[in-house]
Chains A and B, each alone.
Chain A
Amino acid sequence: MAILVIAEHDNAQLKAATRNAVTAAAKIGGDIHVLVAGAGCAAVADQAAKLAGVAQVKLADAAHYADQTAENLAALIVDVAKAGGYSHVLAPATANGKNALPRVAALLDVAQISDIVGVEGADTFVRPIYAGNALATVKSADAVKVITVRTTAFDAAADGGAASVAPVAAAADFGKSKLVGREITKSERPELTAAKVIVSGGRGVGNGDNYKALLEPLADKLGAALGASRAAVDAGFVPNDYQVGQTGKIVAPELYIAVGISGAIQHLAGMKDSKVIVAINKDPEAPIFQVADYGLVADLFEAVPQLTASL
């Protein structure tokens, strides 16, 4: 049995999410191969080869993989999966993984299992449904299991391996889609999905200036990433890639500080696996207090600066 893990990267750096997917693959058991597809991405393949537990790295380096469009990536993965006779194809459940893997599954005529949080056997997996309000255990009858992995549910695989890197042939360019622009939010802070501490603001913060003035100093003190509820994003306080929730990012830091967030089902779906949750809200009835380990009923405009000052 061999498992193919699709590496997430930006052509220069292997993204941490790949490490979590490798750990999930190790739980399934079998030889783990990593596919790195990109343009000028040999360095990424070398980084993947160092991951503990990885037996082989396959490198597809071609100009039409530079932007990692779903169409080109899926065609390549299908070729590699068929040629290698893999029993499982895994990718982290990131925007890229979610984009490409269902396409792979349909081309292989198999189901895709989304966002797994547990491995019960080679064909049986646990995944959240209904915004995380239920956990379904599903068994696949397909010959190839195509799976995306919820990164926060698996530890990151460490370095320590020494896999070989083998080139694989590129598939034909699909040609009907192309990337014409990319706007990446610049941030000096830790990446939201990998941060140990997250400070998150909601509608209660009032506006974008307050968000900056109140939450940034606190996040600086804690070395934290900044997050937000949908209300804060829709109101334009922060860009939408800050959003934590069912439809945004799923996070599970050591400490999640929710400031002025009521705690709607959709928000809780994105953060309730955090180790310690702190809620600061002036409404004692806010649902966020039902999941908070430490709740403080207070005016956030007083409490947050005090908290920042006392750290």
Chain B
Amino acid sequence: MKILVPVKRVVDYNVKVRVKSDGTGVDIANVKMSMNPFDEIAVEEAVRLKEAGIATEVVAVSAGVAACQETLRAALAIGADRAILIETSADEADNLQPLAVAKLLKALADKEQPQLVICGKQAIDDDANQVGQMLAALANWPQATFASKVVVAGDKATVTREVDGGLETLELALPAVISTDLRLNEPRYATLPNIMKAKKKPLDTVKPADLGVDVAPRLTTVKVAEPAKRQAGVMVADVAQLVEKLKNEAKVI
């Protein structure tokens, strides 16, 4: 069974981004970039399925500028077998929206015929939480979002999902799309020998046009602004003062 794992290059999750003063976006020049944390979990899960003898090949795919190759190499170092970069211009990459990515992945899935696509539940930059669901819709496949446990047996996947109020378990007929939640697994660190080996693994590049996909954006960003700042708070000396303030000043208890 072949597994396709989409990965995204995003601003590292520890970086506190700043909004550009002209309101056109956030300043990501010279900021550390990394693989989206949910995608690391997706790669890890696919590699574990391979180690368990269920998957035969894990293909990592990323869409964006040439620098996304680094993200793909990181996936290869975790254990993916080969990688595909859907290379766009910098301008296209800035405006690459979930629907376009889902269409690119659908076109790739038609070619590669994976039995399973495992993606992250959301990217921590646009916080959209859409691509997996959109891909499942376009491919007419079932989906299991926010997965915290995945069991694949035969032509079925049994997936436990994190939902409001608890957990639910779905049984899906393959091929299917699964999106990962944080508790699915603990991604491994890539070891130095594996990072070296990853440099020799195949990485193909295609263009959106090769896949016959129009990546024109549907949404225009009018402006990006800083959220309202909270007023500076006060430090209280003890519990008695805290209770007094909550009762008389904030009037919340």
Using a CB–CB cutoff of 8 Å, the interface residues on chain A facing chain B are: 69-71, 74, 94-96, 98-107, 109-115, 124, 128-142, 174, 176-185, 193, 197, 222, 230, 233-234, 239-241, 246-247, 249, 254-255, 265-266, 272, 275-278, 289, 291-298, 303, 306-307, 310-311
Contacts and interface: CB of A to CB of B under 8 A. Distances in A.
A106 B16 contact: no
A292 B233 contact: yes
Interface string B214-249: 000011111111110011011110111011011000
A137 B25 CA distance: 10
Contact of A106 (B17, B133, B231): B133
Contacts of B14: 265
Given A112-B134, A179-B168, A255-B250, 12 more contacts: A99-B133, A111-B97, A112-B99, A129-B125, A141-B218, A180-B158, A181-B169, A254-B252, A255-B246, A255-B252, A289-B235, A310-B239
B172 interface: yes
Nearest to A182: B168
A286 to B, nearest CB: 12
A110 B26 contact: no
Contacts of A114: 127-130
B16 A241 contact: no
A103 B167 CA distance: 21
B115 interface: no
Nearest to B100: A111
Contacts, number: 243
Contacts of A183: 166-168
A209 to B, nearest CB: 21
A278 B124 contact: no
A16 to B, nearest CB: 11
B162 interface: yes
A233 B183 CA distance: 9
A69 B176 CA distance: 14
Contacts of B97: 111
Interface of B: 11, 13-14, 16-17, 19, 26, 97-99, 102, 121-122, 124-138, 141-146, 148, 158, 160-173, 176, 181-183, 218-227, 230-231, 233-236, 238-240, 242-243, 245-246, 250, 252-253
Given A111-B97, A294-B234, A311-B253, A106 B225 contact: no
B124 A177 contact: no
A130 B127 contact: yes
A95 B252 CA distance: 29
A71 B134 contact: no
B23 to A, nearest CB: 9
Given A94-B164, A124-B222, A174-B142, A111 B99 contact: yes
B94 to A, nearest CB: 13
Contacts of B136: 70-71, 103
A3 to B, nearest CB: 19
Contact of A139 (B143, B164, B219): B219
A107 B137 contact: yes
B239 A241 contact: no
Contact of A71 (B142, B146, B171, B226): B142
A131 B124 contact: yes
25 contacts: A70-B133, A71-B143, A99-B145, A99-B146, A102-B129, A102-B131, A111-B98, A130-B125, A134-B225, A134-B227, A136-B224, A176-B142, A176-B173, A182-B167, A183-B168, A222-B253, A239-B166, A247-B121, A255-B250, A276-B252, A294-B235, A294-B250, A296-B235, A296-B242, A311-B243
